[in-house]
């Protein structure tokens, strides 16, 4: 497979509005391209109604999250919109679309330490799988190196217009991977997921403090959130208002898209239907597929020596990666490094991984 050009890196620093303005100005063209992709999809599913009524509905629903977004993130989102020359509602929608749709139950992640890694330091690997817009998400993938005027500097692997963090690591070496989990607990009255997790990275000096902050912050949807530093890892199983923590078993921690802990079992929700025109099959939207990937991760990791390259191979396994895999990344917190898959189309981990030293 032909590889893409090296990953685009955008360094941003300053107060929230300044971060946003620089972000929007640098990536205005790509932000408009993402908006066009969404409008094109809405036109395809609207039959005779056209895209604009559906888009207006999404903008209306997106605005319901606004009062619960912390002011500094509101300022940054406003700055992105101004810098890109698009409406505020468009940037807000890009940041809350997952909270509205909640239809990405195909992601996979593992954290490995102890005897698995030789020196005992933890590594975190993740696949982020998406049902729609996969080609443009691969083309527009960007690594944001953020240095806010308050909080810890951090790296976020995301897309133009995206202010939250679903795949990232902070300067002190706490890495994060957001996975959807089907949950009965959903609400507009919380901080949208990726913004909630960015807040945890900005303030969390270790896994425990990041986890505590996230658990204390009202959310919107269900998630399995993997957190990892050089010496510890945890998976937060979250609904909008409840949460539980799972810890590694003998140095290994695995997550897909269903709750595994007993306290969260009553909050397990139904898996969503396949969205129209998705390249993925109906099976990819089932709990059976989530459980099959979890079992496959366990089989591939069992007894293995798990360095960055081996984890990359596990994530690329055809029973784990799929036609929606738009992000595949491995973090080494102790070295402040990450490896990002640069395949030209999904699954991106069929292409080479690019090694990046984030700081120092």
pLDDT mean for each 10 residues of the chain (360 residues): 74 98 98 97 88 95 98 98 98 96 83 95 97 96 97 98 98 97 92 98 98 97 97 97 96 97 95 92 95 98 95 98 97 98 96 94
- Residue 224 sits in the same domain as residue 91: no
Query: Helix or strand or coil: residue 324?
Result: coil
114 and 231 assigned to the same domain? yes
170 and 289 part of one domain: yes
Q: How far is CA 351 from the centre of its chain?
A: 20
185 and 201 assigned to the same domain: yes
**What is the distance between the terminal CA atoms of the chain, rounded to a whole angstrom?**
32
Within 10 A of 126 (CB to CB), how many other CB atoms are there?
Answer: 27
Do 80 and 147 lie in one domain? The reply is no
Q: For residue 9, is it within any domain?
A: no
* Other C-beta atoms lying within 10 Å of the C-beta of residue 45: 12
Angle, helix 16-26 to helix 28-45, in steps of 10 degrees = 70
Does residue 248 sit within a domain?
A: yes
Rounded to an integer, what is the distance from CA 220 to the centroid of its chain? 15
Look at residues 80, 99, 118 and tell me which one is the last residue of a structural domain: 99
Which of 99, 118, 152 delimits the end of a domain?
Answer: 99
What pLDDT score was predicted for residue 1?
Answer: 43
Give domain status of residue 6, yes or no.
no
Is residue 349 situated within a structural domain? yes
* Three-state secondary structure call for residue 195: helix
Helices 71-84 and 28-45, interaxial angle, to 10°? Answer: 90
Confidence at residue 23, expressed as pLDDT on a 0 to 100 scale: 98
Q: Do 222 and 244 belong together in one domain?
A: yes
Indicate whether 313 and 171 sit together in one domain.
yes
Residue 1 lies in a domain: no
Buried b / exposed e across 243-281, counting CB within 10 Å, b at 16+?
bbbbebeebbbbbbbbbbeeebeebbbebbebeeebebe
Same domain, 125 and 80: no
Structural domain range at position 62: 14-99
- What pLDDT is stored for residue 294 in this prediction? 98
> Of 83, 99, 115, which closes a domain?
99
User: Is 3 inside any structural domain?
Assistant: no
Number of domains comprising the chain: 2
| Whether residues 210 and 342 fall in one domain | yes
For position 220, which CATH number holds? Answer: 3.60.60.10
80 with 117, same domain?
A: no
Q: Would you say residue 86 lies in a domain?
A: yes
């Amino acid at each position: 497979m032909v590889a893409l050009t090296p990953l685009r890196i955008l360094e941003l620093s300053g107060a929230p509005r300044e971060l946003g303005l620089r972000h929007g100005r640098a990536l205005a063209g790509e932000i408009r391209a993402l908006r066009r992709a969404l409008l094109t999809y809405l036109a395809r599913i609207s039959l005779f109604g056209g895209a604009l009524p559906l888009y207006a509905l999404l903008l209306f629903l997106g605005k319901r999250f606004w009062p619960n977004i912390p002011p500094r993130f509101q300022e940054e989102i406003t700055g992105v919109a101004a810098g890109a020359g698009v409406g505020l509602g468009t940037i807000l929608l890009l940041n809350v679309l997952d909270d509205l749709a909640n239809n990405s139950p195909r992601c996979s992640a593992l954290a490995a330490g102890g005897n698995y890694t030789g020196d005992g330091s933890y590594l975190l690997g993740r696949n982020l799988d998406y049902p729609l817009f996969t080609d443009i998400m691969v083309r527009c993938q960007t690594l944001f190196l953020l240095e806010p005027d308050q909080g810890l500097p951090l790296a976020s692997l995301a897309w133009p217009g995206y202010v939250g963090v679903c795949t990232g690591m902070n300067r002190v070496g706490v890495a994060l991977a957001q996975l959807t989990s089907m949950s009965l607990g959903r609400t507009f009255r919380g901080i949208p997921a990726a913004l909630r997790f960015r807040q945890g990275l900005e303030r969390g000096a270790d896994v425990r403090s990041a986890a505590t902050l996230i658990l204390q912050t009202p959310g919107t949807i269900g998630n399995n959130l993997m957190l990892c530093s050089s010496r510890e890892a945890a998976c937060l199983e979250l609904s909008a208002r409840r949460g539980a923590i799972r810890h590694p078993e003998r140095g290994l921690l695995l997550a897909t898209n269903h709750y595994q802990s007993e306290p969260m079992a009553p909050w397990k929700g139904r898996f969503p239907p396949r969205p129209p025109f998705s390249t993925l099959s109906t099976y990819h939207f089932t709990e059976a597929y989530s459980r099959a990937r979890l079992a496959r991760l366990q089989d591939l990791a069992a007894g293995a020596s798990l360095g960055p390259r081996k984890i990359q191979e596990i994530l690329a396994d055809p029973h784990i990666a799929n036609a929606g895999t738009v992000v595949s990344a491995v973090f080494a917190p102790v070295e402040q490094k990450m490896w990002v898959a640069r395949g030209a189309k999904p699954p991106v981990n069929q292409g080479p991984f690019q090694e990046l030293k984030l700081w120092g």
